[in-house]
Amino acid sequence: MIFLINQINQQLFLIITTTKNQLTAYFLNQQTTFDVPLDLAGTEFQLKVWNELLKIPFGSTRTYKQQAIAVGNLKAIRAVATANGENRISIIIPCHRVIGSDGSLTGYGGGIWRKQKLLELETTQTKLF
């Protein structure tokens, strides 16, 4: 039993350390993708939306309408926005890359100013390379 607990603790430590290192590299303009294991908990629709968020390339944006189309339901724009708002793994699941149809920065749980800073970071980073 103690061996199993130690093994689980080691796995958790590795995941936490890897996540910390990848986030640090992201903010230092050294990383554009994440490959940490994710164990997402949500409704079937939320999981679909979050998996589509993972497909938005670094330095790019997608509108809520485009996101709704990507999940297969144009009429689900508000539901997509709600699912984005329920995302608890922002940055790694990049909900900050979804913007209003008019290009405005709308709806970000961390605050619009953070969404703007993340998009600026990604735009600046893509210009460096």
pLDDT tens per residue across span 85-128: 999 988 999 999 999 988 889 878 888 999 999 999 998 754 44
Smallest CA-to-CA distance from 85 within 76, 77, 95, 75 is with 95
**Cβ-Cβ contacts under 8 Å for 53 (sequence gap 6 or more):** 67, 84, 87, 93, 94, 95, 97, 98
pLDDT-based confidence at residue 129 (cuts at 50, 70, 90)? very low
Residues 64, 27 contacting (CB under 8 angstroms): no
Smallest CA-to-CA distance from 35 within 52, 54, 50 is with 54
> For position 3, what pLDDT does the model report?
63
Of the residues 56, 68, 95, 98, which is catalytic? 95
Query: What average pLDDT does the chain have?
Result: 88
* Residue 95 annotated as catalytic: yes
